[in-house]
A and B are shown apart, each in its own frame.
Chain A
Amino acid sequence: MPAISFQSVSKAYPSPKGPKGSTFLALDRVSLDIEEGEFFGLLGPNGAGKTTMISILAGLARANGGQVSVLGHDVQRDYAKARRALGVVPQELVFDPFFNVREALRIQSGYFGVKNNEAWIDELLESLGLADKATANMRQLSGGMKRRVLVAQALVHKPAVIVLDEPTAGVDVELRQTLWQFIAKLNKQGHTVLLTTHYLEEAEALCGRIAMLKNGRIVALDHTSELLKAASSNVLRFKLDGVLPKMLADQARVTGRIVQFPAHDALEIERYLSAVREAGLVAQDVEIRKADLEDVFLDVMQQHRSADAEVMA
């Protein structure tokens, strides 16, 4: 039995721009099974449908079609069992200003009917570096600390399935490391983890399997190692002082002064470098590296942009 199952799930929202009554499709017949014990990554650009998938899974939104279940429990018909099995770290940094950290965790335990949970609450506080903030009011905590409390709240009922919706957005390196060590430990103990993130190096390091989502559809789904293997090539990387001509820029990933081209062989590398030279530019700090998940991601998104364009034409 899969830990999480999406079967042909669609979701339409009222369109904010179109005429009254029009809708846009946030999810389009998405099917996906995540097995128990997996560390699974859900990637995609903003608006691809990641948070919609998580909202439907958590019961915050209702699908217009298809079925979603957690450990075999339908998230609508059997919502109490599904939600007991699920711990969700929401994307928004939200908190209840009336309570301190320990009180918030006790209340969250109580909602799930968990009694005598102090030992686990203490362990959560310790593992997430919150022990000295236990009696601090939520309002007094920094953004990073509030994020840690959100993680603790999601885990307070020891859910079999943990869902993290961009848990490291805007948080410091220390928290990321603390968080990933703890989540990896829980995953080793058998907890299933579903992660969405924009930090692709995190997904590459942590996730056994990855799905890439675009415009409400799954456009890639495989083991992380297979996705990396299937990556077309190596990457030619250099720094540039001037502006790359448009024809070249369209094929490259440009981050400030850093330019990266996917390159299959030496001939292609030579061709790029000579094109740069002909444009009157000088490439500095030239290096060739293996493709990483970010390259794969951009490649997949690019392919589907071309495919979408063809369909439109």
Chain B
Amino acid sequence: MNGWQTLLYKEIWRFWKVSFQTVAGPVLTALLYLLIFGHALEAHVKVYGTVSYTAFLVPGLAMMSLLQNAFANSSSSLIMSKVMGNLVFLLLTPLSYMNWFVAYVGASVVRGLVVGAGVFAVSAFFTEVSFVAPLWIAAFAVLGAALMGTLGLIAGLWAEKFDQLAAFQNFVIMPMTFLSGVFYSIHSLPAVWQTVSHLNPFFYMIDGFRYGFFGVGDVSPWLSLAVVSGTLLVVSGIAIHLLRSGYKLRT
């Protein structure tokens, strides 16, 4: 393995060593959401006319878990290494800023996909899930995880303490994921909130992903693809710039 491959491998190995916390935990949380909301709303709500609420919920929950865990991977790894001081081992190596970017985001994508797949695996016991357009599913899963891994990288570089990172997670990431249509179709919202939802890039990740399952979405999957890809390009540009300039890494 060369340098960046080692860093990618190490970042995957790191979360896998504590997979009870990093994989099993989020899968269980998603399962609880599914059981409770599914039980409470299954009899009352049908989405897109024919889709049962539990079946509707599964892709949204899988994507939400995928996104949150992709973010958590890069951000928590960086902040821990910074706080514990062991980031110096990486700073002393000949790895380039692009090596850092690829490895940290790559490991985030892997963790996101593993958790997302885990949520599907356990959901299959409770409801039947269709896969109308698997390519859309794969595209949004990978792009969404990459976007969140990159945001996690930026947050991990910026934060100097755990509570700063927690603030980013609780006040930015959580509201944006919960308000993105995980638990509802935005067509059920008043017009004003539909408009607001359209400004949230997370909405497009979830909607495009869900399109892959039902062949129906709130907006066209192509629009979602364009928004998610564009956002990924912008945040990648920011992350690469921060890494190249040594932001909060090299004095």
Contacts and interface: CB of A to CB of B under 8 A. Distances in A.
A83 B86 contact: no
B89 A96 contact: yes
Interface residues of A, number: 30
B84 A97 contact: yes
A95 interface: yes
A113 B246 contact: no
A80 B2 CA distance: 13
Interface of A: 13, 55, 58-62, 79-81, 83-84, 86, 88, 90, 92, 94-98, 107-108, 110-113, 115, 153-154
Interface of B: 1-3, 5-7, 9-10, 13-14, 17-18, 81, 84-86, 88-96, 246, 250-251
A69 B122 CA distance: 56
A83 B62 CA distance: 42
A103 B5 CA distance: 15
B86 A60 contact: no
Contact of A88 (B10, B92, B250): B92
Contacts, number: 75
B94 A79 contact: yes
B14 A98 contact: yes
Most chain A C-beta atoms within 10 Å of own C-beta, residue among B14, B81, B94: B94
A60 B251 contact: yes
Given A83-B92, A83-B94, A107-B10, 4 more contacts: A13-B251, A88-B92, A111-B89, A111-B90
A77 B191 CA distance: 55
Contact of B250 (A62, A80, A84, A110): A62
A95 B17 CA distance: 16
Contacts of B246: 62
Nearest to B251: A61
Contacts of B13: 98
Q: Which 10 A-B pairs have the closest CB atoms?
A: A110-B6, A80-B94, A94-B85, A111-B93, A61-B251, A83-B94, A96-B86, A94-B86, A113-B2, A98-B14
Contacts of A90: 88
B250 A61 contact: yes
Given A62-B250, A110-B6, A84 B94 contact: yes
B206 to A, nearest CB: 32
